[in-house]
Amino acid sequence: MIYLDQSATSLHKPPEVVEAVRRGLSGEYGNPTRGAHTPALRALQEVALVRRAVSKYFDVSPLEVAFTFNATIALNMAIKGALTPQDRVLTTPYAHNSMLRPLYELQDMGMRLDIMPLDKHGCCPIELFVQYLHADTTAIALNPMSNVTGDIAPLDDIIRLCHQRDLLLILDLSQWAGTRAMPSVAQWPRTLIAFTGHKSLYGPQGTGGLINRGNVPLRPMISGGSGIHSFERQHPSTFPEVCEAGTVNLPGIMGLRAGMEWLMTTGQDKVQQHLSTLRERFISGMRTIPGVRLYGSQMADAGPVVSLNIGDLPAAVISDALNERYNIATRAGAHCAPLMHQALGTVEQGTVRFSFSFHNDDNEIDTAIEAIRTLSFQ
Ligand SMILES: Cc1ncc(COP(=O)(O)O)c(C=O)c1O
């Protein structure tokens, strides 16, 4: 199988990840925040090591890292925990439903939500952010890498803008993390960063987290056992406990640490270089096929994601043919990004999405190009 659906989840995990999960299940680890016996303390120590690995990768303090079971939960915790109906929030068509739907829930309670348009290249330049900010805007909620086209928002400029205007930044790094370096954190404003473990950080499903820069106050979204303040009626509002009700996924986050350490050892720049070579090769091949329509800016330095269609064929027909006839895995449809499809005019047709991992090579890209070429003639 040629797996070109990394944006959904990474299929091939480094062997170190599999070994770390196995170790987590090997009978050595107790519950990290329940008990003071040796297996429990060993587990607690392991959680601290994972927190440190995450903080090293994102260049933040371990005290700013909370574990969640995926990016969706982290985004819900950030949006529903930090915002109120009194806020005014700006977002872009890149937003995934994991960000949009919690925003809509707050909008239904009175919060104002502004959605800026894309420019004619399918991008969101900083000028548009400035144009669509209002005097009473309090936050920007941003997915800086479209999971449909791979196009990226100017994150450094947006960070600067939030800093200057004292805006809260809620970031969805589900697609960004692991595919390119983090922007320099020196100028970070108050920021809540959601990330997922199972995509390009090469960790297991059921892992992810929320990073809280600037000690943004959060209301708990889920309450329950925290291992501390057991006689209080309310869940602690201190971070990270406010996000970590119940037992963490210890074998999962041990695997996440192994994935992130593999990434840091391999080198984030090397990974990014490989991904952009694959993307360029794929786009160049697609440009030689009549009838193929590519979406987005097609810029070389975008993320490792490409969306296309062949003529008026429904995207699902192409994706199914790739799977059944060529053993190539892609994803068809809306990719949980409805505003992007409204902007691209693909609400009915959807798009066929190809997304690349460090484990793909030139031969696989060439095979996919020839498969699309053959399908385009049928
Ligand atoms: C941009 C974006 N945000 C959020 C998510 C949701 O991630 P998770 O599966 O970790 O909840 C995804 C993945 O599907 C995504 O692509």
Per residue in 208-259, pLDDT (tens digit) is 999 999 999 999 999 988 878 888 889 999 999 999 999 999 999 999 999 9
Mean pLDDT of the chain: 96
| pLDDT confidence of residue 66 | 98
Q: Are 245 and 293 part of one and the same domain?
A: no
Instruction: Confirm whether 9 is domain-assigned.
Output: no
Phi, psi (deg, nearest 5) at residue 67 = -95, 140
Q: Which atom of ligand 1 is nearest to the CA of 95?
A: 1
How far away, in angstroms, is 8 Cα from ligand 1 center?
8
Q: Are 206 and 303 part of one and the same domain?
A: no
Q: Are 156 and 65 part of one and the same domain?
A: yes
Beta bridge mates, 194: 172, 210
Report residue 145's pLDDT band, with 50, 70 and 90 as the boundaries: very high
| pLDDT confidence of residue 182 | 87
Cβ distance 220 to 210 under 8 Å?
Answer: no
**Substitution site in 196, 200, 353, 355 for ligand 1 pocket (most atoms within 8 Å of beta carbon):** 196
How far away, in angstroms, is 147 Cα from ligand 1 center?
9
| pLDDT confidence of residue 228 | 81
As given in the structure block, the two tokens for residue 94 are: 């890149």
Overall domain count for the chain: 2
Bond prior to 240 in cis (omega within 30° of 0): yes
- What is the tens place of the pLDDT at every residue in 322-355? 999 999 999 999 999 999 999 999 999 999 999 9
| pLDDT confidence of residue 365 | 98
Q: Which atom of ligand 1 is nearest to the CA of 73?
A: 11
* CATH for 122: 3.40.640.10
**Substitution site in 79, 146, 147, 200 for ligand 1 pocket (most atoms within 8 Å of beta carbon):** 147
266 contacts: CB under 8 Å, gap ≥ 6 = 358
- What is the tens place of the pLDDT at every residue in 97-133? 999 999 999 999 999 999 999 999 999 999 999 999 9
Ligand 1 — pocket residues by CB below 6 A?
Answer: 7, 70-72, 96, 98, 143, 147, 172, 174-175, 196, 208, 336
Does the reported pTM lie above 0.95?
yes
| pLDDT confidence of residue 187 | 67
Q: What number is the average pLDDT over the span 291-305?
A: 94
Instruction: Confirm whether 1 is domain-assigned.
Output: no
CA distance 285 to 318: 17
Cβ distance 137 to 64 under 8 Å?
Answer: no
- What is the tens place of the pLDDT at every residue in 152-180? 999 999 999 999 999 999 999 999 999 99
Query: Hey, whose CA ends up nearest to atom 12 of ligand 1?
Result: 174
Instruction: Confirm whether 150 is domain-assigned.
Output: yes
Beta bridge mates, 352: 308, 332
**Substitution site in 9, 96, 192 for ligand 1 pocket (most atoms within 8 Å of beta carbon):** 96
Q: Are 38 and 166 part of one and the same domain?
A: yes
How far away, in angstroms, is 72 Cα from ligand 1 center?
6
Cβ distance 168 to 192 under 8 Å?
Answer: yes
Instruction: Confirm whether 5 is domain-assigned.
Output: no
Q: Are 130 and 187 part of one and the same domain?
A: yes
Q: Are 222 and 149 part of one and the same domain?
A: yes
Phi, psi (deg, nearest 5) at residue 189 = -80, -170
Cβ distance 82 to 189 under 8 Å?
Answer: no
Q: Are 205 and 307 part of one and the same domain?
A: no
Distances (CA, A) of 366 to 103, 117, 267, 296, 305: 41, 35, 25, 21, 16
Q: What number is the average pLDDT over the span 297-318?
A: 95
Q: Are 338 and 366 part of one and the same domain?
A: yes
| pLDDT confidence of residue 275 | 97
Report residue 150's pLDDT band, with 50, 70 and 90 as the boundaries: very high
Give the end of a domain, one of 249, 266, 283: 266
Note the Cα 268 to chain centre separation in Å. 16
CA distance 377 to 339: 31
| pLDDT confidence of residue 263 | 97
Q: Which amino acid is at 288?
A: T
Q: Are 170 and 247 part of one and the same domain?
A: yes
Q: Which atom of ligand 1 is nearest to the CA of 198?
A: 10
185 pLDDT higher than 90:
no
70 pLDDT higher than 90:
yes
Give the end of a domain, one of 248, 266, 284: 266
Question: What HEC string does the chain produce?
Answer: CEECECCCCCCCCCHHHHHHHHHHCCCCCCCCCCCCCHHHHHHHHHHHHHHHHHHHHHCCCHHHEEEECCHHHHHHHHHHHHCCCCCEEEECCCCCHHHHHHHHHHHHCCCEEEECCCCCCCCCCHHHHHHHCCCCCCEEEECCECCCCCCECCHHHHHHHHHHHCCEEEEECCCCECCECCCCCCCCCCEEEEEECCCCCCCCCCCEEEEEECCCCCCCCCCCCCCCCCCCCCCCCCCCHHHCCCCCCHHHHHHHHHHHHHHHHHCHHHHHHHHHHHHHHHHHHHCCCCCEEECCCCCCCCCCEEEEEECCCCHHHHHHHHHHHHCEECEEECCCCHHHHHHHCCCCCCEEEEECCCCCCHHHHHHHHHHHHHHHCC
Q: Which atom of ligand 1 is nearest to the CA of 74?
A: 11
Q: Are 134 and 45 part of one and the same domain?
A: yes
| pLDDT confidence of residue 123 | 94
Q: Which atom of ligand 1 is nearest to the CA of 94?
A: 1
| pLDDT confidence of residue 47 | 98
Q: Are 67 and 143 part of one and the same domain?
A: yes
How far away, in angstroms, is 131 Cα from ligand 1 center?
28
Q: Which of 349, 278, 339 is nearest to 308 (CA)?
A: 349
- What is the tens place of the pLDDT at every residue in 26-53? 999 999 988 889 999 999 999 999 999 9
Domain ranges, residue 308: 267-376
201 pLDDT higher than 90:
yes
Report residue 304's pLDDT band, with 50, 70 and 90 as the boundaries: very high
Q: List the strands of the sheet with 168-172, edge to edge.
A: 65-68, 208-213, 191-196, 168-172, 139-142, 88-91, 112-115
* CATH for 308: 3.90.1150.10
Sign of torsion over alpha carbons 295, 298, 302, 305: positive
7 pLDDT higher than 70:
yes
How far away, in angstroms, is 175 Cα from ligand 1 center?
7
Give the end of a domain, one of 266, 296, 319: 266
Distances (CA, A) of 189 to 2, 167, 169, 185, 320: 41, 7, 7, 9, 44
Q: Which of 257, 245, 228, 259 is nearest to 66 (CA)?
A: 245
Q: Are 90 and 24 part of one and the same domain?
A: yes
Instruction: Confirm whether 160 is domain-assigned.
Output: yes
